[in-house]
Amino acid sequence: MNHIQNNSHYQQAHVIAMYYHMGSEVDVLPLLCDTSKQFVFPKIVNRDSKVIRFAPIVNSVVPGIFNTMEPDGDIIDNSLIDLFLVPVVAFTIKGERIGYGAGYYDRLLSMVHVPRIGIAYMTQIIDEIPVEPHDVLLHQIIVNNQ
């Protein structure tokens, strides 16, 4: 968490899109202790067209379409988000990433113009990823050495 909090993009951001970790993804929930930031989490709003938006936690989280936890707050406009912390299953040093394969993040990230930082473990780095035209590169990757 220190690597994230010391990152200049994180320090300058007010509204940060983060995620609930699944499987091998890094758990970023300890960041919620930082009361100087507003954190928002993904909500699937259209499964067929693979659309996610972001909302804050008001009271609790509830299981979503894929049994991922989703916030109970109202969806905010993407333009309010200053930074995206992106889950990673595997990545390259070029900023290519693999998630869980549904394409929700690539669709979203292709429409935003703020920093996109992947959060990963060193063991998730690979040499090459087959890149498709819709894939979106990360600006940075913060690696947890554990």
Q: What are the structural domains, with CATH classification, of the chain?
A: 2-144 (3.40.50.10420)
pLDDT at 68 over 90: no
Q: What is the mean pLDDT of the chain?
A: 88
- With beta carbons less than 8 A apart as the criterion, state whether 15 and 81 touch: yes
**What pLDDT is recorded for position 21?**
87
pLDDT at 79 over 90: yes
Q: Where are the beta strands (DSSP E) in the chain?
A: 15-17, 38-46, 51-55, 61-63, 69-71, 83-87, 90-91, 97-98, 116-121, 140-144
Helix or strand run (H / E) with residue 108: helix 104-109
pLDDT at 87 over 80: yes
**What pLDDT is recorded for position 27?**
92
Contacts 24+ apart (CB under 8 A), 53-56: 53/78, 54/17, 54/78, 54/81
What are the pLDDT digits (tens) for 6-51?
Answer: 999 999 999 999 998 888 889 999 999 999 999 999 988 766 666 7
- Tell me the pTM: 0.89
